[in-house]
Structure 1
Amino acid sequence: MAELPHFKALNWYLVVVANYFFFVDAFRPHVQVYMKKYQIIVSLMNYHRFVAFCLYLLGLAFFLCLVSIRSIRKQFTLLAWTHCLLMVFCVQTYMLLYSIFQGLIWSFMPFLLVIINDVFSYIFGKLLGKTPLISLSPKKTLEGFVCGGIATFILAVILSYCFCNIQYLVCPLSYVERNGTISTSTNCTPTYFFQLQSYKVGSSTFSVYPFVFHAMVMSCFASVIAPFGGFCASGLKRAVNIKDFADTIPGHGGLLDRFDCQFLTCTFVNVYVSTFVNAPSVNRIFEKILYMSDENQIKFIQLLEAELVVKGMLNKTLGYP
């Protein structure tokens, strides 16, 4: 690193800037109460993309000032790797936060299913495994892969049914102000996904939480697709001729070695939740309206009233003449 002065400091600087860019996008819709109480953070929240971009350009200019012609190829190669890693880790973390704010269960459940699948694939692979699954990971067997997937599917149904009754998991995290103090809250009326619904199949009727069906989809992903994140990590380690990414956990490698299957899971959960689950929250919309100016609140009421009149809903719902 002697040929690359201050390069480590520049890496950490870019990590901070990237996290600022992505994390504010994740937190801003949920911290309106902070923005109302602490006006100093309003500009950092509202203009964070422009500020982050300016900070990034400043870091890039600093890098270019440090470039040495003798090691220019090595320096630009490391800068490219830094950008790749930032995209992987920062974007994945942003996706994870997005899912958590929809309700902890949407992140906790798929992550738990990946761990369950990994454990049962290992157990069944040891007991029944005879057929190699993939050359990138010689210890993985077809028998362990299949039996682990079946066990994951069964446990997904059982666990999801139990978790639907835990308010801390099903209610989105929110920040509320009580007596001048801001605290977190997970109090809510459970959404449609966590309320028993009746379904009719032929002449039979049964009740189940709709989230159970989503858990089945997550279990299929955790069993069939997520393991390939681990296979990709195994291939990368073989390509650079290392056994583990680190030695943080004796006998198990580093943290990345324990969570290599979770990278694909973060992306899947974000895409799945935003596509099939996420819906506008009445309470969250109401909170945003409260932070509008008086003129905009009145304008909003007028627009909503006009729309409800056109739809013929105002007289029925509110009893207005």
Structure 2
Amino acid sequence: MKTRILSGIVLGILIAVLFFFGGPVMLIALTIISMLGYLEWVKVLKTGSKNKDSGLPHYQPYLYIGLALILIWYLLLAFCKQQILSGPLALYFVLGIMAVMMITSIAVFPKRNAADAALTLTGVVYTGMMLSCVYLVRQTPKGQFWVWYLLFVSWGSDTCAYFVGRALGKHKMAPVLSPHKTVEGAAGGIVGSILLCLLFGLICAGTAQVDMGVMIKISLLIGLVGAVVSELGDLFASSIKRTMNVKDYSHLIPGHGGILDRFDSMILAAPFVMGILHIFGAV
């Protein structure tokens, strides 16, 4: 437990520093985090493969292509941010990933099938594009304020859910996917997320020069939607682990597991927070 707490504090400080400075430092850090996450994704798929005799070599094409695509995506973020925020470039990139899936499935057939290619390269969208929304949120006009909501709806919500679940939890929410999660804990996480976002919004509305009414609406919506989506992100990551029969994605973060074990909720929450900011014209 001490190791988990200590590594959690160190990780929290590092993320806070990245959120504070943003810019190239954050972009480089997220590129590395995304690539490490993709390595974990491929490793878990390989470990849980039903055709283990074929081993890692047949995953190598996916590994190298996926890492290259993630790097290209972050380079596009660095030099074409506005085109990505406007939509079309991101769409074209996703279509390009689909084309790569098709071509790769042909190249490795019959040692691997199309489903393997699709599932593996889906990791590019999951660990690369979705996580990169953290950077996009930070780069919005008032991103130095909005980006902190990601911590509240993911790690803040998770912390509230943990303590409420331990104190009041009686009804299992997803006993197969995550035996320790309870309905009471999930409700506590949602309420905690809303309160954290609302409190932060009320404190920062003046400094951020955002109308108080608008800030309250944004805070409430992000707090609610973000917490629910974060919980679903956690359950999705757990479903992959259960399917592949592994406990953690890796042991990179002592006491927490891997990148995907720690960032699973934020990965799914970030695009939704970005979408809410779009709705309110804050991008």
Shared fold per TM-score greater than 0.5: yes
The answer to whether residue 204 in structure 2 is matched with residue 163 in structure 1 is yes
For residues 124-177 of structure 1, the C-alpha deviation after alignment (integer angstroms, 9 at most, x for no partner) is 1111111112222111112222233223322322222123344xxx4xxxxxxx
Between the aligned partners of 1:226 and 1:9, the Cα distance in structure 2 is: 29
Unaligned runs of 5+ in 1: 31-47, 171-189, 196-207, 280-321
Between the aligned partners of 1:233 and 1:117, the Cα distance in structure 2 is: 17
Between the aligned partners of 1:252 and 1:267, the Cα distance in structure 2 is: 23
The answer to whether residue 270 in structure 2 is matched with residue 215 in structure 1 is no
Deviation for aligned residue 1:108: 1.7
Matched residue type, 1:254 = G
Between the aligned partners of 1:246 and 1:150, the Cα distance in structure 2 is: 31
The answer to whether residue 126 in structure 2 is matched with residue 88 in structure 1 is yes
Aligned sequence identity (%): 20
Give the secondary-structure state (helix, strand or coil) at the position aligned to 1:277.
coil
Mapping 1:26-175, distance limit 5 Å: 26=81, 67=107, 72-74=110-112, 79-102=117-140, 103-104=142-143, 105-135=145-175, 136-166=177-207, 170=208
Structure 1 or 2: more helix by fraction: 2
Structure with larger Rg: 1
Go from structure 1 to structure 2 and tell me whether the alpha carbon gap of 1:98 and 1:117 turns closer, same or farther (over 3 Å shift).
same
Go from structure 1 to structure 2 and tell me whether the alpha carbon gap of 1:154 and 1:77 turns closer, same or farther (over 3 Å shift).
closer
Between the aligned partners of 1:63 and 1:13, the Cα distance in structure 2 is: 14
Number of corresponding residues: 220
Structure 1 or 2: more strand by fraction: 1
Preserved CA contact (<8 Å) 2:153 2:230: no
Deviation for aligned residue 1:122: 0.5
Matched residue type, 1:278 = A
Deviation for aligned residue 1:8: 4.3
Preserved CA contact (<8 Å) 1:18 1:86: no
Mapping 1:155-304, distance limit 5 Å: 155-166=196-207, 170=208, 190=209, 194-195=210-211, 208=212, 210-278=214-282
Preserved CA contact (<8 Å) 2:131 2:266: no
Unaligned runs of 5+ in 2: 1-55
TM-score by length of 1: 0.57
Between the aligned partners of 2:147 and 2:139, the Cα distance in structure 1 is: 9
Give the secondary-structure state (helix, strand or coil) at the position aligned to 2:247.
coil
Preserved CA contact (<8 Å) 1:100 1:107: yes
Go from structure 1 to structure 2 and tell me whether the alpha carbon gap of 1:162 and 1:150 turns closer, same or farther (over 3 Å shift).
same
TM-score by length of 2: 0.64
Between the aligned partners of 1:13 and 1:132, the Cα distance in structure 2 is: 41
